[in-house]
Every structure is written in C-alpha cells, then in structure tokens.
Amino acid sequence: MTEKESATDNIIADAMATPSPAKSMGDPGITPLSPSHIQQNDTDSNAHTGPSFIVVVAVDFGTTSSGYAYAFTKEPECIHTMRRWEGGDPGVSNQKTPTTILLTPDRKFHSFGYAARDFYHDLDPSESRHWLYLEKFKMKLHTTANLSIDTELHAANGKRVKAIDIFAYALAFFKEQALKELSDQAGAEFDNTNIRWVITVPAIWKMPAKQFMREAAYKAGLVPRDIPEQLIIALEPEAASIYCRKLRLHQMIDIGTKNTQNGFSPTENVGAGMTQAKEHVRSKRQSRTFLVENVIGELWSELEEGDRYVVVDCGGGTVDLTVHQIQLPEGHLKELYKASGGPYGSIGIDYEFEKLLCKIFGPDFIDQFKIKRPAAWVDLMIAFESRKRAAAPDRTNPLNINLPFSFIDYYKKFRGHSVEHALRKSNVDFVKWSSQGMLRMNPDAMNALFKPTIDHIIQHLTDLFDKPEVCDIKFLFLVGGFAESPLLQQAVQNMLHGRSRIIIPHDVGLTILKGAVLFGLDPGVIKVRRSPLTYGVGVLNRYIEGKHPPDKMLVKDGTRWCTDVFDTFIACDQSVALGETVKRSYTPAKPSQQVIVIHIYCSEKERVCFISEPGVRKCGTLRLDVTGTETSAARREIQTHMQFGDTEIRAMAVDVATSRTVKASIDFLAQ
C-alpha cells in the first residue's frame, strides 16, 4: 500500500450500497458520503466570537525588530504602544526592540531585544562562545520545507536549539512586558484571561508556519489550548491595510502625485518627506498613544465602491503584497488576489554585505570569525545596519563602517597580513580603507548591496500589476520598516510611472502593529479572502471507463474503484467569504473506532485530479475524536465543517445521530 493510498487511514465514507474494498479488505480509503458543497453561514459569525475581552494586545514579531501595542475595547480609538526600551542605537527609532534572544550556557532564557544584545556584547570573548545568541530567526519558519515541532535553529556560536523553545521564550517575554504595563496602569494585577492576543505573520506564510506560531503561543502561556479564540493570527499586510483606512492626510506622505504634500515636492529628493515625517513622529513620541479616529480617513473618503489598492509590506525578512477592494457602506475589505511576495526583505542587504566581506577577506576567514568571535560579528552587523539606513539615491559622500578591533586583529593572525593589504588585493570597486580603522564605502557600492533585493521586489510588483485582477489600482501603500528606504521608494516610483499614488504612513514601522490592534478589536473587517492553495483529501470513487486511468483501478467484490482521487475542498485563488464553510460527511471504518484520521493534501494548481500528481503534497491531518458519542445507527455519519475564509483553517465536526459536536483539529506540523 503506497503512502498515497494511506491518505485516509482508518476511515471509510461510504454512500454506496456495495461495500467498498476498504471495508472488506481493511484497505485504507474513503469515498465521499455527501456531495461537496460550500455553505454560507447565515449569522456571519466568524471563528473569533467567544468570551469578551477587556483589552487587545498585538505582538508584531518581526524578523529584525519586534514590539507590542494594545487598546482597551472600551477605548478602541486609543492605541498604546509599548514602553521605551532600555538600550537602543543612536539615530535608530527604538519603539520596537531587536528580535534578538540570549540563552545562558545551560539554555535557560536570559534576555530579549536590546538587553540581550548589550549583555552579549559585554561578555568576555572566552565566555560569549558558550552563550546562545540568536537573531533574524523568524525566516526559518518560512524557509524550512518540512517544518515541525522539532525544527532547530542555530545560535551565533553554531549550537543548535529547538525553534519552538526560542519562539515561546520570545512570546513569553512580550506577555510578561504587556501584563506588567497593564497591571501598572490598572493599579492591580491584570488577569491574562481578559486579554485577546494578536500575533502578526506574513500573509505568504504557509499553514505549518502559522500553526507553529500558535503552538509557540500555547507553550509560552499566552493563551490556553482549550480557548484558541483568545489568540488571533493576523496577516501583516492585512493589518497594515486596516490601519491605512484610518489615515488622515497629516499622518502620511504621498509620493505618487505631482503636487506638494506635507511641504515637499515629490519630484525633489524622495527621502526628504520621510525625514520630515520622522521628525514629526519624534516630536509626538512622548505619549506613545495614537488616536485612531472612529471615522474613515480623508484618503479613504476618496475611495468609491469597488476601488482597488495594493499594500506592499516590506519587512526585514519578507515582502508581502495584498490587493484589496473596498466594499461600501461599511468599508469592509475584500481580497482580490491571493497574497504574494517572497523572501525579499531588508536582511537581503545584510547578506549582500556579508558576500562583499567574503570577497574581500575570504569566505574561510568570515566563517571562522563568526564562530570564534560571535559577539564582534554582531557588532559589525550593527555598525552596518545604521549606515545602511543612510543610503539614499542622491547621496554623494562615502559611508564609513567601523570594523571592530577584534576583526582587524583576528584577520592579521589568520592571514598573516593586514586588513588594508586585503582591501588593496581584492580589486573590489568603491570600497577603501580609512586610516581611522573604517571601511569607506562609496555610495555606489552601498547602493549595489540594495540592488538584488530591490530588483526582486520591483520584478514581483511588475508581475503583479500585469495580472487582470490588478488593474486600476488607486493607491499603493508602502509599509513595513524597509519602506523607509529612499532607494526602495524611488524604485517603486520609477516602476509605477504615475499609474497609482504611493502612500507611506508616518512611523511606517508601526503600521502593522497598530493595524493588528484594530484587527483584534474587529476581526470581521476583512470579509473576503482568496485561498493561496487548492486543498482536498484523497478518496475512492466509482471507476469510470475512459475517465479514470487503468492503473488507478481497484476491483473488489465485482465493484471497480478508482483510488487516489483528489476530492477538492477549495481551489487555489477561489474567493471565500468570512464564515463560509465546506461540509463533508464521513463514517468510521469500524463502529468501535474512537479517532478518525483524514490526510489533507494541497497544491498550487487550481485543478487537481489525483493526489499522486506532481506538486501535490500532504500538508495536514484532520483528526476527529468521536470518543463518548456511541450510537445505535448501523452507519455513523460524522459531518465535518471546515472554514477557509479566516487567516487559519478551522475545523469542527458533528456526530449526526447524536447532534453532538466532536473534537476536530487540523495538524499541519505532523511529519
């Protein structure tokens, strides 16, 4: 029996009078008991109904930086961002903290963010190699093909640690910070049961990565496993979209029009508006409370029924694009084209810098330096980060990057000659050595580091704008930390040629965080989503001559069956409304069976006939627990209801004979 045929272990859904081969032979396999159909929920109740909460706390768990914000349900127009962080870099906004975590040599949590970075930096080199320091680890959830609870991460010193522990430590840190702040405000200990938690993830993440974040939240004690509705997984560009609806003219920069906005002309230096915006934000930063007016912003009032806009979320790890359409009168949002994007975030520029260093000093040296002097390597990348932010299209003077003393010293020991000598020999254009111990990068050299990442983004945007669903785009909202880059802003502007207005919110790095709070307050605001994949299960169907391939035929008791048939739940790019449900009915293979297991398959193709086709992979397992629902009926019917219109796929099941709800859960992390 192949793995494909085991698609549906322990279950037969048999609507025919003739017994299926699975029943008589004990072979795995199911046939649909009821015709597939999609049913619209009448009540428009979505999966987030449940206990009422006093406060919504959103955690923006970023690749490079993270933070939290919250709002009380009685004051939804006031979004409070977290307290200021200890530490921080001069000239870099510290309303978020770096996504860096430090574990003690015996793998216990020590610190997070600036505190982790500063402590690690101050350790003696002989000590630091025993501590486990991790940064930029979020992307591992996107890049790991077979993500599971056992997936591991590498610390700076090369040691391996379970990813689930690291993510849980980070979320537990934010839980502790937020609860402490809420308790201080309330003057008494704030109860976690009164909080609805929201965690943001890239929209292009697959189901296993979203489930992984949920599992980490359970492990961190953010919410109990038996109250899943207390946690919402929000999609980053959707959160940004929700916040952008509220923008007033003074809260954004418009670089897509020819008229002057906010006191600068878009034909002048693209970055000037951003600099002005940062100053405006800094002057307002003392309060940490953002007033989000309970009205649609002026920009939004220009939108009419059916108008389309694109949100381009440029983060540290990924670039995420969503296309939304406005639905009046409530201003609900409809996703027009499935979320797309890729690993084109700003850390791509860091990788290019690392490649440049390898070209100058040799990959063997860089690899050794990272292992032997991990804290100094972190220092070097911090120095690069602050200079990276100074890159601009019109810059003419060089950018100086401090090389840590231990880099210069270790290189001399490793190679037997100086860093200066290496630079002279390397023939790398536009990078020189300054006598003050710095790499002097010509602006062209810095801009060249940005080029591969920005080219990816522009290519993706170009492809997106060529799609028929993506015509007549009124606005392009550029959000996320990388959106602050004048080089990226100019590239987007050149690519669009005035086809739509480019809007950049002030304090662009907090757009997702603030939008995630608004989403937690009203999860029903996104009414229609597009399915990123085709989902279904493998079933047995009656064999039809000429339609089914002969090698799929299975004969038993005179009945011919076709195996491995892909029974589609939902097709790729299909529109699904919030609360829409796909229904299926199954029956256990044996009356005594307590658990029914159904394997779920997915594909990027819209039309799939068999689970054995190329590109179809097993992506999840639906488990139905029928314990304690005994029935006298000859054939028990279990009706499953699956919701695809939400950010996560949800399942429930009903034992038809007893009308009792049986436990149903989809596991995307099972290997």
The CATH number of residue 339's host domain is 3.30.420.40
pLDDT bucket at 126, cuts 50 / 70 / 90: confident
pLDDT tens digits for range 239-266: 998 888 777 666 777 775 533 333 334 4
Q: Are 234 and 249 part of one and the same domain?
A: no
pLDDT score of 363: 95
In a domain, 282, yes or no: no
pLDDT score of 519: 93
pLDDT tens digits for range 390-431: 899 988 999 999 898 889 999 999 999 999 999 888 878 788
Query: How many H-runs (helices) and E-runs (strands) does the chain carry?
Result: 17, 34
Q: Are 456 and 344 in contact (CB under 8 A)?
A: yes
pLDDT score of 290: 55
Q: Are 554 and 643 part of one and the same domain?
A: yes
What is the sign, positive or negative, of the torsion defined by CA atoms of 224, 227, 230, 236? Answer: positive
* Side chain identity at residue 118, one-letter code: D
pLDDT tens digits for range 22-49: 332 233 344 555 444 445 444 344 444 5
State the Cα–Cα distance between residues 638 and 244, nearest whole angstrom.
Answer: 43
Enter the tokens of residue 423: 């630079």
Q: Are 233 and 90 part of one and the same domain?
A: yes
- Give the CATH number for residue 548: 2.60.34.10
Q: Are 614 and 545 part of one and the same domain?
A: yes
pLDDT tens digits for range 284-295: 444 556 565 554
* Side chain identity at residue 9, one-letter code: D
Which residues is 322 bridged to in the sheet? 311
Enter the tokens of residue 19: 């017994």
Q: Is the pLDDT of residue 581 over 80?
A: yes
Q: Are 102 and 212 part of one and the same domain?
A: yes
In a domain, 45, yes or no: no
pLDDT score of 166: 97
In a domain, 583, yes or no: yes
In a domain, 277, yes or no: no
Q: Are 243 and 515 in contact (CB under 8 A)?
A: yes
User: What average pLDDT score do residues 115-138 get?
Assistant: 90
Which residues is 152 bridged to in the sheet? 162
Q: Are 71 and 206 part of one and the same domain?
A: yes
DSSP string, 224-260: -TT-GGGEEEEEHHHHHHHHHTT--GGGEEE-SSSS-
Q: Is the pLDDT of residue 12 over 60?
A: no
Which residues is 602 bridged to in the sheet? 535, 617
pLDDT bucket at 455, cuts 50 / 70 / 90: very high
Give the residue numbers spanning the domain of 477: 242-257+295-345+457-529
Higher pLDDT, 416 or 93: 416
Higher pLDDT, 445 or 621: 445
Enter the tokens of residue 199: 């965690």
pLDDT score of 430: 84
E strands in 263-354? 289-291, 308-314, 319-327, 332-342
State the Cα–Cα distance between residues 115 and 235, nearest whole angstrom.
Answer: 28
Which residues is 476 bridged to in the sheet? 310, 502
Which residues is 526 bridged to in the sheet? 333
pLDDT score of 264: 38
Q: Are 523 and 616 part of one and the same domain?
A: no
Q: Is the previous residue joined to 329 through a cis bond, with omega within 30 degrees of 0?
A: yes
Domain edge (last residue) among 499, 529, 559: 529
CA neighbours closer than 13 Å in the CB half-sphere of residue 521? 23
DSSP string, 632-651: -SSS--EEEEEE-SSSS-EE
State the Cα–Cα distance between residues 585 and 656, nearest whole angstrom.
Answer: 9
pLDDT bucket at 365, cuts 50 / 70 / 90: very high
Cα distances (Å, whole numbers) of residue 608 to 33, 34, 173, 177, 612: 20, 20, 44, 47, 10
DSSP state of 494: H
pLDDT score of 87: 57
Q: Are 62 and 145 part of one and the same domain?
A: yes
Across the chain, what does the average pLDDT equal? 81
Q: Are 80 and 204 part of one and the same domain?
A: yes
User: What average pLDDT score do residues 530-542 get?
Assistant: 85
Q: Which has the closest alpha carbon to 477: 512, 442, 427, 449?
A: 512
Domain edge (last residue) among 394, 418, 449: 449
Q: Is the pLDDT of residue 619 over 80?
A: yes
Q: Are 68 and 513 in contact (CB under 8 A)?
A: yes
Q: How many domains does the chain have?
A: 4
State how far Cα 95 lies from the chain centre.
20
Q: Which has the closest alpha carbon to 251: 521, 503, 501, 519?
A: 503
Q: What are phi and psi of 528, to 5 degrees?
A: -135, 130
User: What average pLDDT score do residues 355-364 get?
Assistant: 94
Q: Are 488 and 350 part of one and the same domain?
A: no
Domain edge (last residue) among 410, 425, 449: 449
In a domain, 402, yes or no: yes
Which stretch of DSSP H or E encloses residue 216?
A: helix 207-220
Q: Are 131 and 180 part of one and the same domain?
A: yes
Q: Which of 82-86, 123-127, 199-203 has the lowest mean pLDDT?
A: 82-86
Cα distances (Å, whole numbers) of residue 95 to 48, 99, 201, 363: 29, 13, 19, 35
In a domain, 280, yes or no: no
State the Cα–Cα distance between residues 209 and 203, nearest whole angstrom.
Answer: 11
In a domain, 597, yes or no: yes
Q: Is the pLDDT of residue 486 over 50?
A: yes
Which stretch of DSSP H or E encloses residue 163?
A: helix 163-186
In a domain, 639, yes or no: yes
pLDDT score of 292: 57
DSSP string, 372-400: HSHHHHHHHHHHHHHHHTT--TT--S-EE
Which stretch of DSSP H or E encloses residue 626?
A: none
pLDDT tens digits for range 162-200: 999 999 999 999 999 999 999 998 889 999 999 999 999
pLDDT bucket at 275, cuts 50 / 70 / 90: low
pLDDT score of 314: 93
Q: What is the pTM of this model?
A: 0.82
pLDDT tens digits for range 51-72: 589 999 999 999 999 999 999 9
User: What average pLDDT score do residues 602-615 get?
Assistant: 91
DSSP string, 544-593: -TTTS-GGGEEEETTEEEEEEEEEEEE-TT-EEETTEEEEEEEEESSTT-
User: What average pLDDT score do residues 501-505 get?
Assistant: 89
Q: Are 354 and 320 part of one and the same domain?
A: no
State the Cα–Cα distance between residues 203 and 557, nearest whole angstrom.
Answer: 49
